[in-house]
């Protein structure tokens, strides 16, 4: 059995340092927004502000947990955790999405109650606090935007901030409507619309994280195309006992049995394995391999 060594962990990049700093700043911004909107919502009587404050409180924890999970995920593997701690980011993304959906459902229920019994609201105070929240949320979105495609964990935190920004924008519009036309019912309507959007977006994150935790084949990776690429090597007869999975949303693993057409020396088999790994790494982005080279016998052959 030929096993490849694990990829050596690289030191933190400048981009990673920037990401961590931006997450810390975003956490502080969300905490300030939460306190401001909580106070403003209680004084003004605005459900939209209170819901946004509750939403921001959850997002403050979400972004903080995202930051914390990145630190945990950077730990090196141990004898008890041979894969390391990278799954911490996936678990955090799942936790954040579930919390976001839970809060959104609660807000929708409260919004329905307010639609039945509208209450007077201090429009100018609502508008002022919402503007402060909008500016701070936009700053957070800007800080995390460069990192949102590199991690489901960061993406979930970024989505939290997008939801906050849309919510703050809607509350600003609601404050203007209340000041100009005394349309108090717009407050729960805005709450309901934002909550519905957040549920829709969070569900996709839940789906992606569950797929990874269930060790599903990485999205966009076609097994038939992968096998075809390996069998193009003249010495390869077939590929079987294939397993493809993700450690996180960036680290793909593969294990397989590779049967050769003829009995070849160990050094030649080792060279063949190396060439196959290089091809798969470059063509499919898989970086971690466990290949068993064989010729005739295989107790776990599922290719027949």
Domains of the chain, with CATH numbers?
Answer: 2-213 (1.20.1510.10), 223-294 (3.30.70.1350)
pLDDT class of 117 with cuts at 50, 70, 90 = confident
Mean pLDDT of 137-148: 77
Lowest mean pLDDT among 48-52, 249-253, 286-290: 48-52
Per-residue confidence band for 299, with pLDDT thresholds at 50, 70 and 90: low
More confident of the two residues 123 and 237: 237
Higher pLDDT, 292 or 191: 292
Which has more pLDDT, 79 or 210? 210
* Range name among 20-29, 39-48, 143-152 with the lowest pLDDT average: 143-152
The whole-chain average pLDDT of the chain stands at 79
302 pLDDT above the threshold of 70: no
The residue ranking higher by pLDDT, 273 or 165, is: 273
pLDDT-above-90 percentage for the chain: 16
pLDDT of residue 242: 92
pLDDT score for 205: 82
Q: How confident is the model at residue 256 (pLDDT cuts 50, 70, 90)?
A: very high
| pLDDT tens readout for residues 3-26 | 333 333 444 444 556 767 777 787
pTM of the model: 0.68
User: How confident is the model at residue 124, as a pLDDT?
Assistant: 84
Task: Determine the pLDDT at residue 31.
Answer: 84
pLDDT, tens only, 78-116 = 888 877 777 777 887 788 788 878 878 887 887 888 787
Longest C-alpha distance within the chain, in Å? 85
Q: Which residue has the higher pLDDT, 144 or 153?
A: 144
Q: What is the pLDDT of residues 147-186, one digit of tens each?
A: 666 566 677 677 777 777 877 787 788 888 888 888 777 7
């Amino acid at each position: 059995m030929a096993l490849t060594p694990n990829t050596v962990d690289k030191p933190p990049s400048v981009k990673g340092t920037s990401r961590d700093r931006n997450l810390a700043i975003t956490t502080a911004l969300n905490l300030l927004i939460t306190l401001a909107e909580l106070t403003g919502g209680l004084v003004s009587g605005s459900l939209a502000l209170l819901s946004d404050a509750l939403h921001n409180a959850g997002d403050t924890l979400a972004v903080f947990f995202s930051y914390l999970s990145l630190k945990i995920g950077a730990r090196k593997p141990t004898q008890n955790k041979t894969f390391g701690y990278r799954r911490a980011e996936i678990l955090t993304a799942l936790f954040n999405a579930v919390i976001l959906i839970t809060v959104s459902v609660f807000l929708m229920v409260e919004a329905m109650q307010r639609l039945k019994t509208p209450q007077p609201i201090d429009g100018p105070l609502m508008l002022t606090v919402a503007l402060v929240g909008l500016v701070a949320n936009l700053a957070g979105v800007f800080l995390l935007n460069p990192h949102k495609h590199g991690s489901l964990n960061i993406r979930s935190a970024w989505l939290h901030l997008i939801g906050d920004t849309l919510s703050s924008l809607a509350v600003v519009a609601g404050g203007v409507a209340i000041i100009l036309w005394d349309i108090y019912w717009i407050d729960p309507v805005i709450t309901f619309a934002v909550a519905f959007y957040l549920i829709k977006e969070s569900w996709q994150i839940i789906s992606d994280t569950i797929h990874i935790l269930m060790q599903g084949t990485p999205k966009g990776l076609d097994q038939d195309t992968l096998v075809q690429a390996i069998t193009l090597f003249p010495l390869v007869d077939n590929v079987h006992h294939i397993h493809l999975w993700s450690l996180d949303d960036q680290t793909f693993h593969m294990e397989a049995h590779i049967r050769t057409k003829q009995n070849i020396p160990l050094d030649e088999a080792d060279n063949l394995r190396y060439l196959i790994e290089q091809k798969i790494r470059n063509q499919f982005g898989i970086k971690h391999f466990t290949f068993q080279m064989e010729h005739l016998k295989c107790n776990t052959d599922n290719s027949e």
